Each structure stands twice: as structure tokens, then as C-alpha cells.
Amino acid sequence: MVAYKCIMCIYVLSVRQETDKRKVELASRKKLKMEPRETHKPGDETQQSVVNQQLAALQQELKYSQGQCWAEGTRKNLINQWNTFLTFCTYFGLVALPAKINTVCLYAQCLARSFESVDSIRNYISTIRMIHVLLDMVPPNLKEIELIMALKGLYRIKKHAVTQAEAITPEILLEMREFMDLNDPFQATLWAMFLVAFFIMLRSSNLVAQTKKKFNIAQTLIRGDLTLDEEIAFIRIRWSKTVQFGQKVLMIPLHANPSSKLCPVWALNNMRKLNPAELTDALFCMPDKSVMIYDTYLRNIRKFVEKTGRPPKSYSTHSLRRGGCTWAFHANVNTELIKLQGNWASDCYFRYLQFPLQQRGQVSLLMNRKINEMFLKFR
């Protein structure tokens, strides 16, 4: 019975959204008229059949709604994490459902052999609890002292520091530009994308698709999301990591800067001239109008960073987002506006800020200056 429940849980997590949606649409097309239950006559089999069909349609719609609570990436992570736990329990002959707290502790220790981050281990453990809840089983108490001690000990042993990608600054962008042929349609498109990512602090999920098959016109920017003239551009953001349910549409303005080589409006106009496309094509499409994918985006960032003499692996697609955030902060842009521009739902954007050593040294200098102003007269 436990094995059957495991299989069913994995099925629920992995069921394809398209299949569920098709079933819901078929049920909706029946357009069954709902009537108060008390009007049904006892023994009326036809009326009871209608009620049963309505109930079946509701159950199918409910199943579809519940299946939409996870994004596709989250769904895949849950399946992978649960399969990992099942493999661990099978190998060591431990009971997966219901899982004992000692089993969870041993699982955490096993993950620590290959995981650098204890936070990642905590994510894997949280999936165990969620699966128990989905199967109507009592989940292990993750606040048990035995597990708390194990995780705290792992934090002390691992001492893992999160490695962030280096920020791409305006100086680096200018150096990268020297190695780019802006008369080439592909490189002109790359340059426009670099500047839009920098000034709007966009996530890569808005700019490119993970693969060509995963291109989603509702999520990735398209040419129809761009309004452009010689002085200003508007980018329409219809979806993002923090706006997944269409609850709002963001219109982000980009002003021209004719005196600078880092003018985003000029770059977008140049891209549109050299790489024209239909309104439904990806905003930063390839010259053959196919979708640019994440690997192409990352590879070219590192390619041109390397040409400037910097280590390419220290930079990623996040480098432009981090660089734009840092530059806006140093330009004295209001922090609430930075948060709005980068579409952050919390104050986590502070983690993106990068301060050079010279600026950090200003802290003690300013403190010393204030001490001198306040207490010099008492010498």
C-alpha cells in the first residue's frame, strides 16, 4: 500500500498540465446546468446521472487547479528530490513512508557527502514533509532536536559561503563593446540585450528561453512588448519570477543617452533595423527569427568578458542584473525605485549590491571625521 501511494504521489506531481487542461475543457464543454439538490426526485436516475457528471467535472477541475500550484521547474525539483529520498531509503532498507526522524537525519548526513550548501539539504528535507501531507500521512517533525542538532553541526562543518557572480559594470560594458561588431545582426541583438538587462535589471527568464522547445510567448519578452522611438523606449513585462499569475503588467521606460556608447535606446533601434522581426517573435531573437536560448546568452557574456582580460567563469547572466542594481544604488537612485525596476518582491536585492574596497573604507573615515568634529574641542 505504501509503495502504491509513493507511485501515485509521483504521478500527481509529474502529470502533464496539457492533459489535465484538455480534460477540464472537455468537461466544461458539456455545460451542465446545476440545479438545487432538493429539487431532484428520489429514484430519478437521469437526474442523478447529471449530478454525478457535474461532480466528476468539479473533481477534474479541482485536480487541474491543484496541479497549477507549482511552476514547471518547481514540479521537476520536487520529483527529483522525492526520488532521491526513495533511492536512499531503498538502498539502506529504511522505511520511507512514514519516515522516522532518525531516517531524515541519516538522509541529511548522506546528502552532506555531496552537497556543499546545508540550505540545499534543508530544501530536500522539506520535500519529505510535503509528500507526507499530500498523502494524508503524519509528517516527521522537522523541529525535533535530533534534526536541529544534525543540521547545525553540518553548518559548522561545511562553512559554505555562497559564491555570487561578479557584477558587470559600465566600465566592463564599454570594454566589451570594443570587441563587438554592431553592424552584425546577431551581435547588435546581443548588445541591445546586454544593455536592457543592465538598465532594467532583468532576469534571464524574461530575456531568453531555456531551450527552443520551452519558448513561452506568455513569459519571454517578444517584439510586441517593445515600444520605441528615438528618445525613449518602453518595455512591457507581462510575467516574471515574482509575477507568475498575471496580477500586474509592468511598463519600464528607458531613456536615450545620445552622448554615451551605453545608450539602450540607440542599441534597440540598431537591433530593430538590422534584425527585424514579427510582433510575436522573441524580442531578442536570432537573425533567422529562432529563439535565443540561455546557453547562447551565457556563452556570449563570458566570451566578451574574456576578451576584456577577465576570468569568464566569474561572470554569469546574473552579472548584468547585479551590475545594474549596484550602479543604480551608487547613482543615488531611491532604493524603492531600484526594487521596483528590478521587480524584487523583498529587500533581497541588497545582496546584489557590490561595493569596492575604497568605498567600504569610507565607513571608518567618516566615523573618524565625526569623532574629530565632536570631540576635538575636548583635547
Determine the Cα angle at 367 with ends 366 and 369, to 5°: 60
**Residue position matching grid coordinates 520511507:** 96
The 3-state DSSP class for residue 253 equals: strand
The 3-state DSSP class for residue 159 equals: coil
Residue ranges of the chain that CATH labels 1.10.443.10: 170-352
pLDDT tens, residue by residue, 316-362: 999 999 999 888 888 888 877 887 777 676 655 556 555 566 666 66
Quote the CA–CA distance of 122 and 99 in Å, as a whole number. 16
Which pTM was predicted? 0.67
Architecture of domain 2-8+70-158: Orthogonal Bundle (1.10)
Mean pLDDT of 142-154: 95
Residue ranges of the chain that CATH labels 1.10.150.130: 2-8+70-158
Instruction: Write the CA distances from 230 to 13, 187, 262, integer angstroms.
Output: 49, 21, 15
State the amino acid at position 143 in one-letter form: K
Architecture of domain 170-352: Orthogonal Bundle (1.10)
Fill in the DSSP letter of residue 219: T
Cell matching residue 111: 546528502
pLDDT tens, residue by residue, 262-288: 999 999 999 999 999 999 999 999 999
Quote the CA–CA distance of 124 and 120 in Å, as a whole number. 7
